[in-house]
Amino acid sequence: MRPFHFPCSRSSSKSPADLLGFAVVIVLCLASSTSSCTDQDKSFLLQFLAGLLEDGGLAVSWRNDTNCCKWEGITCSADAMITEILLASKGLEGHISPYLGNLTALLRLNLSHNLLSGGLPLEELVSSSSIVILDVSFNHLSGALQELSVQTTTRPLQVLNISSNLFIGQFPFTTWKVMNNLVALNASNNSFTGKAPSSFCISAPSFAVLDFSFNQFGGSIPPDIGNCSMLRVLKGGHNNFNGDLPDELFNASSLEYLSFPNNGLNGVLDDANIIKLSKLSILDLGQNMFSGKIPKSIGQLKRLEELHLGQNDFYGELPLNLGNCTNLKVIDLIFNNLSGDLGKINFSSLSNLTTIDLLMNNFSGTVPESIYACTKLTALRLAHNNFYGEFSPTMNRLRSLIFLSIGGNAFTNITNAFHIFKSFRNLTMLSLEESFAHEILPEDETIDGLQNLQHLAIGGCSLFGKMPAWLSKLRNLEMLRLSDNQLTGSVPVWINNLNFLFYLDISNNSFTGEILRTLMQMPMLKSEKTVDHSDARVLSTYWDSKYEYRVLRAALNIARNGFIGVIPAEIGQLKALSMLDLSFNSFSGEIPQAICNLTNLEVLQLSNNNLTGTIPSELNMLHFLSAFNVSNNDLEGQVPTGGQFDTFDNSSFDGNPKLCGALLSHHCGSAKVVPVPASTLSTMQFSDKAIFGIAFGLFFALGVLLDQVVLTKLRVLQL
Ligand SMILES: *[C@@H]1O[C@H](CO)[C@@H](O)[C@H](O)[C@H]1NC(C)=O
Ligand SMILES: *[C@@H]1O[C@H](CO)[C@@H](O)[C@H](O)[C@H]1NC(C)=O
Ligand SMILES: *[C@@H]1O[C@H](CO)[C@@H](O)[C@H](O)[C@H]1NC(C)=O
Ligand SMILES: *[C@@H]1O[C@H](CO)[C@@H](O)[C@H](O)[C@H]1NC(C)=O
Ligand SMILES: *[C@@H]1O[C@H](CO)[C@@H](O)[C@H](O)[C@H]1NC(C)=O
Ligand SMILES: *[C@@H]1O[C@H](CO)[C@@H](O)[C@H](O)[C@H]1NC(C)=O
Ligand SMILES: *[C@@H]1O[C@H](CO)[C@@H](O)[C@H](O)[C@H]1NC(C)=O
Ligand SMILES: *[C@@H]1O[C@H](CO)[C@@H](O)[C@H](O)[C@H]1NC(C)=O
Ligand SMILES: *[C@@H]1O[C@H](CO)[C@@H](O)[C@H](O)[C@H]1NC(C)=O
Ligand SMILES: *[C@@H]1O[C@H](CO)[C@@H](O)[C@H](O)[C@H]1NC(C)=O
Ligand SMILES: *[C@@H]1O[C@H](CO)[C@@H](O)[C@H](O)[C@H]1NC(C)=O
Ligand SMILES: *[C@@H]1O[C@H](CO)[C@@H](O)[C@H](O)[C@H]1NC(C)=O
């Protein structure tokens, strides 16, 4: 949309004669630039400048004794009238002066990406001036938008962008009756409440772009938006809308972009409605409560590029004619109850697909060969369905894959799988969780490639075997999860050659030996900078219906194995650690004082070992420690007090008869064992469960979380 072409001419046609005229106008413009703006216009600009607390250096050129047509950000017409004020990203602070509305020839005002605050003088800006384009997005403007008081003459305003500010309150309704030229309105990312604006198109027949996403609009989606026959873009995601998509909405047959993710919408998608939107290129209705089947008529949307229907209650089979949407790039159907054999759909005609995301559905059968014709695929997630069988050798055509997640299915032959996956040179994330049950983790040296792999998750597969040497070649590995298998042997020394590894989870296996001295050398965990590194991965919250998760931090989890030996003082070197879990092993000796040096620790689990001695009292200096458990050891002496220790439940210390403390049954300095009152007991049981829930949630959800994160990153790259 280019509603406005040149400051000297409002013509928008493009015939050769006009182009000649255009050239003449340029010359005129240049020639006329010597004539000076009026003193009155200059004074209005100086009023604006006076309202700024921080002018971003404007004052250097904005001087009273010079021609204001030459000031920074100002453009004038041939007759020295101010037509444009373009001051985006200048670091301006302060308020927007209503006097800008007194510039009678002003066409374009762009103040986006500054730090302007206070109200928007909409009344003055649009009622007295000739403004066509007004962009004040990405500022700190606040307050409510007033209805325009005078409702007589029509306004030339075509584009209004007030997005990403702090506006609140109801959106004006009557104001738009005089905006007969309005083409685009962007009110997204504010805090507007009440009913969504809708009645533009009765007065503005060319209205084409409406974005009110990321607000707090509620109620139902207004049906009269369907009157907008020229509407191309409609974005209303991340509000509180409820009800269904009104039938009338589908009369807006020019729609190319229809998006209402993350609302409370419900109902079914009607075949007869969907088919009316034949120009649709992006359909995003994710994170709502839509139900029923995915309508067959989607297959007739020839221009469809992105289909986002994830996190709803859709069920049944995918429409077979989906293969007719040959422009599809993204299919996102996560968290529904979709089922059936994908083999009935011909994916080979969808050669532009870059993302297929089917996480958490009930799809079954083998993975259809035709998917392997989609050679542009960068992300494929089949996790948590009912797929089975071996991967076909033709899968090696998916050489663009960056993200592959197939866990939670009944796939077989992990050896075969790795021999295929090794040809995915660009793969950075590979998750095989909960598949290939009871097979042997291949140790075959010919598994190579995968040089770019950063995240490898093979947890929960009950795999036999050892930690294979080919892992040592994955020099970019940051995260390795082998938990919940039946792996044996020792942890090899080469683990320290993985220079980027900051998350290692080998819990619940049958590893043995004195592991710790090896792990004390892990470079990323020793690095002081790691904290920043892992904080940089702060990931969007992911909700999987049971657990909520936030971040992936430096972690060492070797719980539930057969490790022996003492915890060496060198543990204090692993400064980056947020989580250390050594529980359910056979560690002996004392808890080293140096563990108090791990100031980033949030989780420290030492329970069910054979630890003796006292609990170092300086542990109470670990300010982030929120989970701590030393139960079932042979510790003695006093439980530390103060700091986070005032928040830990008794159950953290259970099963250490020689421990004493004010809250424990064994008080320090008294030999008498006080019986535990029943009420305390039930609290303890409850807390036990809570702690288990938290810990379990953390490790269960991480795989899914990680998937989500990486996938989200990929999406950002693609869009
Ligand atoms: C600008 O200059 C004019 C005279 O040249 C003077 O009247 C006016 O007050 C000045 N404005 C400011 C803001 O200094
Ligand atoms: C600026 O415009 C407003 C109307 O919006 C008018 O009331 C006011 O007198 C004008 N000021 C000047 C100095 O022209
Ligand atoms: C305003 O300026 C910014 C930065 O140059 C630009 O991205 C934006 O598109 C402009 N707004 C309009 C409506 O042209
Ligand atoms: C504001 O929105 C308009 C219309 O959607 C758009 O043309 C303009 O580029 C946006 N401005 C910024 C800074 O994104
Ligand atoms: C509206 O503005 C936001 C930024 O505030 C931008 O991300 C979005 O793309 C714009 N919408 C349209 C339709 O241009
Ligand atoms: C919303 O606005 C804030 C503040 O300007 C910005 O940081 C954020 O990226 C915007 N969000 C969207 C979705 O545009
Ligand atoms: C659409 O797909 C169906 C089922 O795959 C097929 O029979 C039909 O010929 C396709 N129609 C067009 C127009 O391609
Ligand atoms: C894939 O996209 C390209 C351009 O993005 C387009 O030219 C081509 O027709 C598309 N392929 C198919 C099979 O539609
Ligand atoms: C792998 O990634 C590189 C760099 O991003 C890219 O140039 C290359 O085309 C990718 N390879 C494949 C097969 O997609
Ligand atoms: C696994 O696949 C390989 C081919 O990659 C094959 O040689 C082997 O027999 C398969 N193993 C089983 C148990 O089917
Ligand atoms: C722990 O910190 C103390 C004081 O900061 C230091 O003397 C000691 O060497 C550290 N221990 C380890 C194992 O890093
Ligand atoms: C704990 O240590 C004692 C004494 O050294 C030993 O008898 C016992 O077997 C150990 N228990 C475990 C679980 O390792």
d(CA 7, CA 675): 87
Residue nearest to ligand 9 atom 5, measured at CA: 426
Distance 425 CA to ligand 9 centre (A): 8
- The radius of gyration of the chain's CA atoms, rounded to the nearest angstrom, is 32
Quote the pLDDT of residue 151. Answer: 64
Residue with tokens 């049906």: 223
Q: Which residues, at least 6 apart from 301, have a Cβ–Cβ distance to it below 8 Å?
A: 274, 275, 277, 278, 280, 283, 325
Shared domain check, 71 and 8: no
Residue 376 lies in a domain: no
Shared domain check, 41 and 29: no
The domain boundary residue, chosen from 92, 114, 136: 114
Whether 652 shows a pLDDT value over 80: the answer reads: yes
Q: Which of 94, 90, 87 is nearest to 111 (CA)?
A: 87
Whether 120 shows a pLDDT value over 80: the answer reads: yes
Shared domain check, 236 and 321: no
Shared domain check, 87 and 149: no
Q: Which of 163, 201, 200, 157 is nearest to 181 (CA)?
A: 157
Among 188-202, 302-316, 688-702, whose mean pLDDT is lowest?
Answer: 688-702
Residue with tokens 């663009």: 400
* Domains held by the chain: number: 5
Shared domain check, 602 and 573: yes
Residue nearest to ligand 8 atom 1, measured at CA: 352
Residue nearest to ligand 10 atom 11, measured at CA: 413
Q: How many CA atoms lie within 13 A of 302 on its CB side?
A: 1
Among 267-281, 361-375, 480-494, 657-671, whose mean pLDDT is lowest?
Answer: 657-671
Is 549 a pocket residue for ligand 6 (Cβ < 6 Å)?
no
Phi-psi region of 228 (alpha: psi -120 to 50; beta: other; left: phi over 0): beta
DSSP 16-63: HHHHHHHHHHHHHHHHHTTSPPPHHHHHHHHHHHHTEEE-TTGGGT--
Shared domain check, 233 and 190: yes
Distance 417 CA to ligand 10 centre (A): 9
d(CA 147, CA 384): 51
What single DSSP character describes residue 74? E
pLDDT level of residue 70 (50, 70, 90 thresholds): very high
The three state secondary structure string of 653-672 is CCCCCEEECCCCCECCCCCC
d(CA 554, CA 580): 9
Task: Decide if 714 contacts 378 (C-beta within 8 A).
Answer: yes
Distance 8 CA to ligand 3 centre (A): 19
Residue 216 lies in a domain: yes
What is the distance of C-alpha 349 from the center of its chain?
30
Shared domain check, 169 and 29: no
d(CA 688, CA 313): 34
Whether 149 shows a pLDDT value over 60: the answer reads: yes
Which alpha helices (H) appear in 211-347, and where do they start and end?
Answer: 271-274
d(CA 39, CA 66): 10
Is 651 a pocket residue for ligand 3 (Cβ < 6 Å)?
no
What single DSSP character describes residue 500? T
Whether 244 shows a pLDDT value over 70: the answer reads: yes
Mean pLDDT of 44-53: 95
Question: Strand 257-259 and strand 209-211: pairing?
Answer: unpaired
pLDDT level of residue 76 (50, 70, 90 thresholds): very high
Residue 391 lies in a domain: no
**Ligand closest to CA 237:** 6
Task: Decide if 635 contacts 660 (C-beta within 8 A).
Answer: no
What single DSSP character describes residue 639? P
pLDDT tens digit sequence for 508-545: 999 999 877 788 888 888 876 644 333 323 222 233 32
Residue nearest to ligand 1 atom 3, measured at CA: 64
CATH number of the domain residue 351 falls in:
3.80.10.10
Average pLDDT, the chain: 85
Quote the pLDDT of residue 711. Answer: 45
Quote the pLDDT of residue 707. Answer: 45
How many residues in total does the chain contain? 719
d(CA 233, CA 277): 12
Q: What are phi and psi of 95, to 5 degrees?
A: -115, 165
Quote the pLDDT of residue 317. Answer: 96
For the chain, what percent of residues have pLDDT higher than 90? 67
Residue 308 lies in a domain: yes
Quote the pLDDT of residue 552. Answer: 67
The CA-atom distances, in angstroms, between 108 and each of 8, 21, 101 are 12, 22, 11
**Ligand closest to CA 184:** 4
Distance 110 CA to ligand 4 centre (A): 10
What are the structure tokens assigned to 342, written together? 């994908």
Quote the pLDDT of residue 673. Answer: 42
309 is in which domain, residue-wise?
270-370
The CA-atom distances, in angstroms, between 171 and each of 187, 195, 197 are 9, 8, 6
**Ligand closest to CA 139:** 6
Quote the pLDDT of residue 445. Answer: 84
The b-or-e profile of 514-551 (16+ CB within 10 A means b, else e) is ebbebbbebebbbbeebbebbeebebeebebeebebee
d(CA 188, CA 161): 9
**Ligand closest to CA 592:** 11
d(CA 53, CA 93): 5
Number of CB atoms found within 10 A of residue 587's CB: 23
Ligand 9, pocket-test mutation among 376, 421, 426, 476, most atoms within 8 A of CB = 426
pLDDT tens digit sequence for 294-348: 999 999 999 999 999 999 999 999 999 999 999 999 999 999 999 999 999 999 9
Residue with tokens 């909520």: 548
Quick one: the chain helix, strand, coil %, rounded to 5?
25, 25, 50
Q: Which atom of ligand 7 is nearest to the CA of 345?
A: 5
What are the structure tokens assigned to 699, written together? 């490790």
Distance 189 CA to ligand 6 centre (A): 6
Residue 237 lies in a domain: yes
Mean pLDDT of 586-599: 94
Residue nearest to ligand 9 atom 13, measured at CA: 400
- Give 190 or 25, the one with higher predicted confidence: 190
Among 23-32, 69-78, 198-207, whose mean pLDDT is lowest?
Answer: 23-32
Distance 610 CA to ligand 12 centre (A): 6
Shared domain check, 198 and 169: yes
What are the structure tokens assigned to 491, written together? 């942890």
Residue nearest to ligand 2 atom 1, measured at CA: 102
Q: Residue 167: exposed, middle, or buried by beta-carbon count in 10 A (0-12, 13-18, 19+)?
A: buried
Mean pLDDT of 491-508: 91
Among 19-28, 198-207, 302-311, 624-633, whose mean pLDDT is lowest?
Answer: 19-28
Q: Which atom of ligand 2 is nearest to the CA of 123?
A: 5
Q: What are phi and psi of 177, to 5 degrees?
A: -65, -30
Mean pLDDT of 9-36: 47
Mean pLDDT of 69-75: 95
**Identity of residue 375:** T
Mean pLDDT of 366-374: 95
Is 163 a pocket residue for ligand 3 (Cβ < 6 Å)?
no
Task: Decide if 350 contacts 376 (C-beta within 8 A).
Answer: no
d(CA 593, CA 615): 9
Task: Decide if 400 contacts 682 (C-beta within 8 A).
Answer: no
Q: Which of 663, 615, 654, 618 is nearest to 637 (CA)?
A: 615
Ligand 7, pocket-test mutation among 324, 345, 370, most atoms within 8 A of CB = 324
Whether 688 shows a pLDDT value over 50: the answer reads: no
Question: Strand 386-389 and strand 410-411: pairing?
Answer: parallel
Quote the pLDDT of residue 217. Answer: 97
Q: Which atom of ligand 6 is nearest to the CA of 238?
A: 13
Residue 421 lies in a domain: no
Whether 693 shows a pLDDT value over 50: the answer reads: no
- Give 379 or 708, the one with higher predicted confidence: 379
The domain boundary residue, chosen from 370, 399, 420: 370
Residue 572 lies in a domain: yes
Whether 44 shows a pLDDT value over 80: the answer reads: yes
Quote the pLDDT of residue 225. Answer: 93
Is 213 a pocket residue for ligand 6 (Cβ < 6 Å)?
no
Is 124 a pocket residue for ligand 2 (Cβ < 6 Å)?
yes
pLDDT level of residue 175 (50, 70, 90 thresholds): confident
Q: Residue 15: exposed, middle, or buried by beta-carbon count in 10 A (0-12, 13-18, 19+)?
A: exposed
Shared domain check, 341 and 276: yes
Is 46 a pocket residue for ligand 1 (Cβ < 6 Å)?
yes
The CA-atom distances, in angstroms, between 203 and each of 147, 181, 198, 210, 217 are 16, 8, 11, 15, 23
Residue 429 lies in a domain: no
**Ligand closest to CA 391:** 10
Question: Strand 562-566 and strand 579-581: pairing?
Answer: unpaired
pLDDT level of residue 18 (50, 70, 90 thresholds): very low
Whether 8 shows a pLDDT value over 50: the answer reads: no
Is 324 a pocket residue for ligand 7 (Cβ < 6 Å)?
yes
**Ligand closest to CA 424:** 9
Residue nearest to ligand 2 atom 3, measured at CA: 102
The CA-atom distances, in angstroms, between 614 and each of 12, 636, 656 are 83, 5, 11
Residue with tokens 């420290």: 604
Shared domain check, 551 and 530: yes
Shared domain check, 547 and 696: yes
The CA-atom distances, in angstroms, between 397 and each of 370, 372, 420, 447, 711 are 11, 6, 9, 17, 20
Quote the pLDDT of residue 87. Answer: 97
Q: Which residues line ligand 5 (CB under 6 A)?
A: 137, 163-164, 186, 188-189, 209, 211, 233, 235
d(CA 652, CA 629): 4
Is 101 a pocket residue for ligand 2 (Cβ < 6 Å)?
yes
Shared domain check, 635 and 502: yes
d(CA 549, CA 579): 15
d(CA 141, CA 27): 39
Whether 413 shows a pLDDT value over 90: the answer reads: yes
Residue nearest to ligand 10 atom 14, measured at CA: 413
Number of CB atoms found within 10 A of residue 76's CB: 25
Is 167 a pocket residue for ligand 6 (Cβ < 6 Å)?
no
**Identity of residue 137:** S
Quote the pLDDT of residue 338. Answer: 98
The domain boundary residue, chosen from 98, 114, 130: 114
